[in-house]
C-alpha cells in the first residue's frame, strides 16, 4: 500500500490529563490529524488540576516525572509541587498544539460501537463519530468518601482533599484529618503549621521512607536550560534507581526488599522519639504491602504539641466533631477527608457499550480486567489507558503511559495500512493474561497482610507483579494471535 492510500482514522480521546496529552502528541507525530479530546472540566491536567490541597507534590523525582521528549529545567524541588506539574502539562500541551484540540466542560455520557464506528455523546448534547475511542481518564479521579455514620451531620466545614475548599480559613482552627496515606502525609504537616489543634484519625499506620526534597537553585535551572542533556541523564538515573529499589522490592526481590524495609524501619526508629507514639505508628504488615510513602515532613509534624494521633476507631460523627469508640468526642471546626479514590471506576460512570450492545457493566460485573491492561473483549477499537494491572510499584505513571502509547500506536498504524478494520482482545487471551498475572502475584508484598487500594474486591492486587524491564519487553510488539482481527 502506498503512502497516499494509508487511512487516516478519526480518534476520540476521553480526558485531557497527562495520558490524553501524550496520546494527542504521538498521534499527530504519526500524521494523524483528526484528533478530538473530550475533557469534563474547564482545564487540562487531570489529577494535577484536581488536587490543590496544601503540600500537594509528586512522590516520584521530578526529573523522572516528565515526558521523555520534554525535559523540564524549571522544577524547584526534587519532588515537584502540584502547581508546577500542572504548569508543565499546560506548557507541553500548548507547545505541541494539543490545547486547541481539547473540548472543555464536555463530559462523555455514553459511547457505543456499531458498524465499525464509535459514537460518543457528551454532556453538551454533541455527538462524535470515530474509528478509535481511547479512554485516558486515569486511575485516581473519583474521590472515595468514608462510610461513617453521621458524616452529613457535621456542622463545621468538611471536604475531601481532592475537592479542597480554599475559602475555608484554617488558621487557629481545630482540624481533623481522616486518613494517613500518601495525600494525608503531605497535607497533615501543612495543617499542623496553621491549626490550633490537629487530630489525625489513623486506622492503619504506613511505612514511610525519607528522601530529602532537594531545593533547586536558579543557578541549577540556568545550567539545565543551557544543557538539557543533563536532564535526560537525570531521567535515566532516577528511572534506573527506582526500578532497582522500590519496583523490585514490592514484587518480592529479596535484596531490594531488605533494603527498603531497613530504610523504612530506620526512619521510624530515628525520627519518632516517644516509644508510645512510635508503637502507634508501626505497621503490622510487610513494607510495600501498601504503597510506600515517600515523605520527609510527616514524622516531624506529628510530634508537634498541637498534633494528636488518634488510633481509636471512629464510632460516628456528630455536628460537633468525631466520637471514637472509647466514647471520647474530638471537637472540630474543620474535617478533612484524606480517604483516597475509587481505583476501579476508570471511565465509568459513562455508559459504554460494545458490539451487539454489550455493556461494560455486564463485562466487568464479576471482575475488572483488560488484556495487557488495555483491551477489553467485545469492545473493538476501544483502548483503556492505564487499565487494571498497569500500576508498577512506585514507578512514574508517565513512563507507563509512554510504553502503552507506543503499543497502541503500532496497532493503529497497522489499521491505517489496512491489515484490519477493527480489533479486540480474545476472551481466552484475557484469561491467559489474568492467569499469568495471578501466578506472578504469589511472591509479591501486596499479599503481605494489609488492606490497600491495590486490591480489587476479590482481594487480588490490580498491579503488575513482574519487573519493569519485563513489562517493557512484553509491550514492545502486539501479539496478534491474542486478538480478533475484523475486516469488513
Q: Domains in the chain, please, with CATH? A: 3-141+343-486 (3.50.50.60), 151-206+290-337 (3.50.50.60)
Least confidently predicted of 77-91, 167-181, 235-249, 376-390:
235-249
Judged against a pLDDT cut of 60, whether residue 153 lies above it is answered with yes
Helix (H, G, I), strand (E, B) or coil at 146: coil
pLDDT number for residue 453:
64
Beta strands 329-331 and 334-337, pairing class: unpaired
Q: What are 249-296's pLDDT values in tens digits? A: 888 889 999 999 999 999 999 999 999 999 999 999 989 888 899 999
pLDDT band at 448 (very low <50, low <70, confident <90, very high): low
Comparing CA positions, the residue from 322, 338, 342 lying closest to residue 330 is 322
Rounded distance between C-alpha atoms, residue 50 and residue 142, angstroms: 10
Which residues, including other chains, have CB under 8 Å from residue 453's CB and lie 6 or more apart?
Answer: 291, 340, 341, 343
Judged against a pLDDT cut of 90, whether residue 71 lies above it is answered with yes
pLDDT band at 340 (very low <50, low <70, confident <90, very high): confident
Helix (H, G, I), strand (E, B) or coil at 104: coil
Judged against a pLDDT cut of 70, whether residue 141 lies above it is answered with no
Q: What are 154-176's pLDDT values in tens digits? A: 999 999 999 999 999 999 999 99
- Residue 274 is classified by DSSP as -
Judged against a pLDDT cut of 70, whether residue 343 lies above it is answered with no
pLDDT number for residue 394:
74
pLDDT band at 2 (very low <50, low <70, confident <90, very high): very low
For 281, counting Cβ atoms within 10 Å of its Cβ (0-12 exposed, 13-18 middle, 19+ buried), the class is: buried
- Cβ atoms < 10 Å from Cβ of 199: 23
pLDDT number for residue 251:
85
Q: Average pLDDT in the 370-380 region? A: 97
Amino acid at each position: 500500500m502506498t503512502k497516499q492510500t494509508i487511512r487516516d482514522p478519526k480518534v476520540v480521546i476521553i480526558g485531557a490529563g497527562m495520558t490524553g496529552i501524550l496520546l494527542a502528541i504521538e498521534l499527530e507525530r504519526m500524521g494523524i490529524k483528526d484528533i478530538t479530546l473530550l475533557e469534563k472540566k474547564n482545564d487540562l491536567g487531570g489529577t494535577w488540576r484536581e488536587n490543590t490541597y496544601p503540600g500537594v507534590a509528586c512522590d516520584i523525582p521530578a526529573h523522572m516525572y516528565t515526558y521523555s521528549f520534554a525535559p523540564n529545567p524549571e522544577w524547584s524541588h526534587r519532588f515537584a509541587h502540584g502547581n508546577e506539574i500542572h504548569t508543565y502539562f499546560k506548557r507541553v500541551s500548548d507547545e505541541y498544539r494539543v490545547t486547541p484540540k481539547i473540548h472543555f466542560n464536555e463530559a462523555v455520557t455514553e459511547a457505543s460501537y456499531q458498524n465499525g464506528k464509535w459514537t460518543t455523546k457528551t454532556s453538551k448534547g454533541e455527538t462524535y463519530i470515530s474509528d478509535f475511542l481511547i479512554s485516558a481518564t486515569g486511575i485516581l479521579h473519583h474521590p472515595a468518601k468514608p462510610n461513617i455514620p453521621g458524616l452529613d451531620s457535621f456542622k463545621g466545614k468538611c471536604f475531601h482533599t481532592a475537592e479542597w475548599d480554599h475559602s475555608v480559613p484554617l488558621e487557629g482552627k481545630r482540624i481533623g484529618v481522616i486518613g494517613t496515606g500518601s495525600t494525608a502525609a503531605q497535607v497533615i504537616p501543612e495543617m499542623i503549621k496553621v491549626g490550633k489543634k490537629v487530630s489525625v484519625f489513623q486506622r492503619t499506620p504506613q511505612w514511610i521512607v525519607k528522601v530529602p526534597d532537594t531545593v533547586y537553585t536558579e543557578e541549577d535551572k540556568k545550567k539545565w536550560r543551557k544543557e538539557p542533556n543533563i536532564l535526560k541523564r537525570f531521567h535515566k538515573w532516577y528511572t534506573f534507581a527506582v526500578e532497582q529499589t522500590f519496583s523490585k522490592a514490592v514484587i518480592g526481590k529479596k535484596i531490594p526488599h531488605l533494603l527498603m524495609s531497613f530504610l523504612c524501619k530506620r526512619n521510624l526508629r530515628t525520627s519518632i522519639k516517644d516509644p508510645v507514639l512510635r508503637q502507634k505508628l508501626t505497621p503490622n504488615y510487610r513494607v510495600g504491602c501498601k504503597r510506600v510513602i515517600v515523605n520527609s515532613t510527616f514524622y516531624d509534624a506529628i510530634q508537634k504539641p498541637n498534633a494528636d494521633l488518634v488510633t481509636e476507631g471512629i464510632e460516628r460523627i456528630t455536628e460537633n466533631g468525631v466520637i471514637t469508640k472509647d466514647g471520647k468526642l474530638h471537637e472540630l471546626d474543620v474535617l478533612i477527608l484524606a480517604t483516597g479514590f475509587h481505583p476501579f471506576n476508570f471511565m465509568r460512570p459513562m455508559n459504554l457499550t460494545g458490539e451487539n450492545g454489550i455493556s461494560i457493566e455486564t463485562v466487568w460485573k464479576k471482575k475488572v480486567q483488560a488484556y495487557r491492561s488495555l483491551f477489553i473483549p467485545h469492545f473493538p477499537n476501544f483502548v483503556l489507558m492505564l487499565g487494571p494491572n498497569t500500576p508498577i510499584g512506585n514507578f512514574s505513571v508517565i513512563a507507563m503511559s509512554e510504553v502503552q502509547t507506543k503499543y497502541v500506536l503500532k496497532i493503529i498504524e497497522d489499521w491505517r495500512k489496512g491489515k484490519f478494520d477493527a480489533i479486540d482482545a480474545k476472551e481466552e487471551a484475557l484469561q491467559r493474561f489474568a492467569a499469568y498475572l495471578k501466578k506472578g502475584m504469589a511472591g509479591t508484598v501486596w499479599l503481605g497482610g494489609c488492606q490497600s487500594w491495590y486490591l480489587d474486591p476479590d482481594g487480588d492486587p490490580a498491579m503488575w507483579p513482574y519487573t519493569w524491564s519485563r513489562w517493557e519487553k512484553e509491550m514492545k510488539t502486539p501479539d496478534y494471535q491474542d486478538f480478533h482481527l475484523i475486516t469488513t
